[in-house]
Amino acid sequence: MLAQNITELSAQKELKPKIEDVLPCYISGEKLDNALSFISYLRANKMKPTWAGIHNAWKSTYKGKAICYIRLFNDSWKNSSHLRDKYGKHSWVITPYIEENMAIYSETILNEGLQDFIWTNVHHCMRCRVPCHGKNPPHKDVMVLGKEVTGLCHGRPLVWAFDPNKVALDSMKRLLELEQCARDNS
C-alpha cells in the first residue's frame, strides 16, 4: 500500500512519509544518490526533514526555525502554466533559509568562494501576480554579498538549488553549517 499511494497528497497527509520513501518514486540514478546522501547529512546534523504538510515537500528545522525545504516535482507542477517553464525540467530542489543571518557569516562565504553558488542559484520571481505577494513594487532588488540582484520574489527564499550535484550539495552543506553556527551563537 505504501508504495502505491505514497505519491498522492491524500496518502501523504495520512502517512506523513519519510522523504527517503518518496524520493525513489521521482528520482533515480545519480540524482537519487545525491538526494539520499544529502538527507543522511541532514539527519546526522540535527536537521531531520519532516513532511511539511503540502504535496512532496519536507522541512528541516534547527533551533525551532526552518533551515531548509526540499521539494519533489511531479506532473501536477509540469501541467501548471505558471510553473511549467520554471520547474518542468527539474526533479527536486533545496531551498535554504539563510537570509536572516547571512550577514553574520558573509565574510566566511566570500573567503570560501561560496558567493558564486549563491549568485548562481538566486531564485528570481516566477511570474507572480502583480504586485508580487501583495508587495509593491512587484519584485525586489537587493544587494547580495556585494552584488546587486534584481527581480527577486518577495515571498520566496533567496536560494533555490535545482537538481544539485555533489559540488552544489557540498556548498549547500557548508551554508547550512554556517547558518547553524549563527543560530547557536545568537
Residues 121-179 pLDDT 10s: 887 665 554 444 555 555 667 777 878 877 666 566 778 898 999 999 999 999 999 99
Q: Kindly list the domain boundaries of the chain, sorted by start residue.
A: 2-121+159-184
Alpha-carbon gap, residue 151 to 138, rounded angstroms? 9
- Strand stretches in 38-97, DSSP E: 49-51, 57-62, 65-72, 92-96
Please check whether residue 68 is in contact with residue 48, taking contact to mean a CB–CB distance below 8 angstroms: no
Alpha-carbon gap, residue 94 to 15, rounded angstroms? 22
Residues 23-57 pLDDT 10s: 999 899 999 999 999 999 999 999 999 999 888 99
Tell me the three cell numbers of residue 133: 505577494
